[in-house]
């Protein structure tokens, strides 16, 4: 019997997903908590036809040129700013991501972070744990109203739309959004959201949530100048990518109470966090966990696995990012 082709799984993933892959491939699994450095990644990719990766590994032209047998890289994430897709396409390597399976879970978390930020959950819990609660007061940890307020959404893809529905239908919020392209009228009506320009979004939102992909264009889309346009009572929530917010400018604005509060799940240069963000009280910080439920993380890993299996066995991946290369330059 011919040997099975070999693939790499770059991070620890669910055993049943590894077993699913073992039906088709020899599997090299980095079953540790560590992230492979580029040189280690290149070494482990030798002789491999496929790889499952996460947002922690940068996959660019240098990596795929140094791994000549590699035909597909499947990211266990919907965001793929860790991939240089044009370079992968030029090298004939297919790239895939994991859309849809994490939409509702990530929207749930976006809303949780918004609520926690607006209602000062972290700050008040620290106060209680520190034994400082010795009386009740009318203004104690008075936060910002969520129901009936104006929700601003920057980036209106699948997750933005799922957040809009939660805000409009669940919390009676007025929902406004800004996006590179306006949604069609039927989709706008379905998620009860109105399109506005970015300046209006910044000016009118009581709660602004960021759900746009990271790119050169969205780098520091929210910096000092944008924060200055927001209401001083506003909250800002980022569940998209670090780098979309200028973290140093945000920390300064929070210290100066230019906006009321922020909730961040993603950071520039994560897992490092800007030290100034750690010292401001009016902030809720979480370690990039918006899609982290057991069911969703398993579904993401399984979709990445199925992309690798389907592409390498039938030539038809489920959720490709550069399908145009199939039959036109893709490595065989």
Which residues would be at the binding site for ligand 8YV (CB under 6 A)? Answer: 54-55, 76-79, 102, 291
Is-contact 57 41, C-beta < 8 A?
A: yes
In the complex with ligand 8YV, the residue whose CB is nearer, 97 or 122, is 97
- Kindly state the smallest distance separating residue 120's Cβ from ligand 8YV, in Å: 25
Cross-strand bridge partners of residue 80: none
- Residue of 241, 268, 274, 297 marked active site: 241
- Kindly state the smallest distance separating residue 141's Cβ from ligand 8YV, in Å: 30
In the complex with ligand 8YV, the residue whose CB is nearer, 212 or 253, is 212
Active site residue 204: no
Please give the Cα distance from 203 to 208 (Å, whole number). 10
- Kindly state the smallest distance separating residue 291's Cβ from ligand 8YV, in Å: 3
Longest dimension (CA), the chain: 76
In the complex with ligand 8YV, the residue whose CB is nearer, 79 or 223, is 79
In the complex with ligand 8YV, the residue whose CB is nearer, 54 or 117, is 54
Please give the C-alpha separations between residue 26 and each of 20, 22, 45, in angstroms, as whole numbers: 11, 6, 13
Token pair recorded at residue 145 = 């109203």
- Kindly state the smallest distance separating residue 7's Cβ from ligand 8YV, in Å: 17
- Residue of 24, 220, 288, 331 marked active site: 288
Please give the Cα distance from 182 to 22 (Å, whole number). 44
Residue with tokens 């039959």: 327
Is-contact 301 14, C-beta < 8 A?
A: yes
Other C-beta atoms lying within 10 Å of the C-beta of residue 67? 24
- Residue of 44, 226, 270, 297 marked active site: 270
Other C-beta atoms lying within 10 Å of the C-beta of residue 126? 11
In the complex with ligand 8YV, the residue whose CB is nearer, 76 or 230, is 76
In the chain, which ranges are continuous DSSP H helix?
A: 15-22, 38-45, 61-65, 85-91, 103-118, 121-129, 158-165, 171, 185-190, 198-204, 224-229, 247-255, 294-314
In the complex with ligand 8YV, the residue whose CB is nearer, 106 or 322, is 106
Is-contact 182 160, C-beta < 8 A?
A: no
- Kindly state the smallest distance separating residue 110's Cβ from ligand 8YV, in Å: 12
Active site residue 288: yes
What dihedral do alpha carbons 122, 294, 169, 212 form, nearest 10°?
Answer: 80
- Kindly state the smallest distance separating residue 65's Cβ from ligand 8YV, in Å: 23
Q: Which residue numbers are catalytic? A: 241, 270, 288
């Amino acid at each position: 019997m011919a040997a099975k082709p070999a693939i790499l799984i770059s991070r620890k993933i669910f055993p049943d997903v590894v077993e699913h892959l073992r039906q088709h491939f020899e599997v090299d699994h980095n079953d540790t908590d560590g992230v492979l450095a580029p040189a280690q990644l290149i070494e482990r990719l030798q002789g491999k036809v496929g790889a499952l990766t996460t947002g922690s590994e940068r996959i660019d032209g240098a990596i795929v040129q140094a791994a000549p047998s590699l035909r597909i890289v499947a990211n266990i994430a919907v965001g793929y700013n860790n991939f240089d897709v044009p370079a992968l396409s030029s090298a004939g390597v297919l790239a895939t991501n994991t859309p849809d399976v994490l939409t509702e879970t990530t929207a749930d978390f976006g809303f949780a972070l918004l609520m926690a930020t607006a209602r000062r959950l972290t700050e008040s819990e620290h106060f209680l744990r520190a034994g400082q609660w010795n009386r009740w007061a009318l203004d104690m940890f008075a936060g910002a109203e969520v129901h009936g307020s104006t929700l601003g959404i920057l980036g209106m893809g699948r997750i933005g739309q799922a957040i809009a529905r939660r805000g409009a239908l669940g919390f009676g919020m007025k929902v406004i959004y800004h996006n590179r392209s306006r949604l069609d009228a039927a989709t706008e009506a379905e998620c009860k959201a109105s399109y506005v320009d970015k300046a209006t979004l910044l000016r009118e939102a009581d709660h602004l949530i960021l759900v746009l992909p990271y790119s050169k264009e969205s780098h520091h889309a929210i910096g000092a100048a944008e924060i200055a346009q927001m209401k001083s009572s506003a909250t800002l929530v980022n569940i998209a990518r670090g780098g979309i917010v200028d973290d140093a400018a945000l920390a300064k604005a929070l210290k100066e109470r230019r906006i009321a509060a922020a909730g961040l799940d993603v950071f520039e240069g994560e897992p490092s966090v800007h030290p100034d963000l750690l010292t401001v009280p009016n902030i809720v910080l979480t370690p990039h966990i918006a899609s982290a439920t057991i069911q969703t993380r398993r579904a993401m890993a399984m979709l990445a696995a199925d992309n690798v299996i389907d592409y390498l066995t039938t030539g038809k991946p489920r959720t490709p990012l550069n399908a145009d290369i199939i039959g036109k330059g893709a490595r065989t």
